Amino acid sequence: MSTTPIARLLGIMASLRDPEGGCPWDLAQTHASIVPYTIEEAYEVAEAVDAGDPEELRDELGDLLFQVVFQARIAEEAGTFAFDDVATAIADKMVRRHPHIFGEVRGLDPDAVNAQWAAIKAEERAAKAARDKTRAGGSEPEDTATGTLAGVPLALPALARAEKISRKAASVGFDWPDAAEVIAKVREETDEVAQALAGEGPEAVAEEIGDLLFSVANLARHAGVDPEEALRRANLKFQRRFSAMEAEVTKDGHTLREAGLAAMEAAWVAVKRRER
């Protein structure tokens, strides 16, 4: 009797978590302990997309799916939910959020679809807030934004979260009118970082640098750029250029420290020139 690929994967996961002969490492994991792996796999999917390699993307999507299956298996063992519940929940959500496809609403333009999506998500957030309040015994849960800024996950990378928070604020008109004014704000925040470095303590410096990064995230949003993706690409570019510079400087047997900053800077400029 044949089985579907997802049923086979679920069976493999069950065997790995079998108390009577499963993998010791897999058995030791919890929801929290595998979160770093889940995040890592999501980034590796992004890298595969960036590389344009279909086989690599297939493999990385499989790794990410395995993380979903892993989390669902742990939950099933605890009696909270199972993989089928996860699939059902996302299917129900997509149907609910697309009444213009699965319901009676028809003929919406893109702006109307976006407005409808935002309204449905707002209703879902309100329902979730009510559930959270009930679970908390009637008190508001701690560290949870309400109103317009609700629903931005705390676990997001800080730069991505800054972009989402500012986008939500902008959706109700709390925003700079254009990118030029955001650039002015970035310059203002840079000056405040310099002032803090000149005569204030480390906490003040950290706060001002945080303000600067938040302003840069806003600038990226105004420019239509994903700041997390932009920084990821910048990291890769720096790594590529640094490695090329290091190879150039150390080809005669010297270490980077022995060569000195002037030699490194000259090689860095040469690498940049070649890339252009």
The domain containing residue 25 runs over which residues? 1-97
Same domain for 213 and 253, yes or no, is: no
Residue 127 lies in a domain: yes
Shared domain check, 212 and 268: no
pLDDT above 80: residue 155: no
pLDDT number for residue 223: 93
271 and 187 within one domain: no
Are 36 and 73 within one domain?
A: yes
Q: Answer with the one of 69, 97, 125 that is the final residue of a domain.
A: 97
Residues 194 and 235 in one domain: no
Mean pLDDT confidence for 144-156: 76
pLDDT of residue 101: 86
* In a domain? residue 104: no
pTM confidence score: 0.63
- As for how many domains the chain has, the answer is 4
More confident residue, 132 or 70: 70
Q: Say yes or no: 221 and 252 in one domain.
A: no
Same domain, 218 and 126: no
Tell me whether residue 220 is in a domain.
yes
Instruction: State the pLDDT at residue 120.
Output: 83
pLDDT in tens, 215-249: 999 999 999 999 988 998 899 899 999 999 999 99
Question: Which residue has 């994903």 as its token pair?
Answer: 226
Which of 68, 61, 58 is closest to 38 using CA atoms? 68
Average pLDDT of the chain to the nearest whole number: 89
Q: Output the pLDDT for position 60.
A: 96
38 part of a folded domain: yes
Q: Is the pLDDT at 202 greater than 70, yes or no?
A: yes
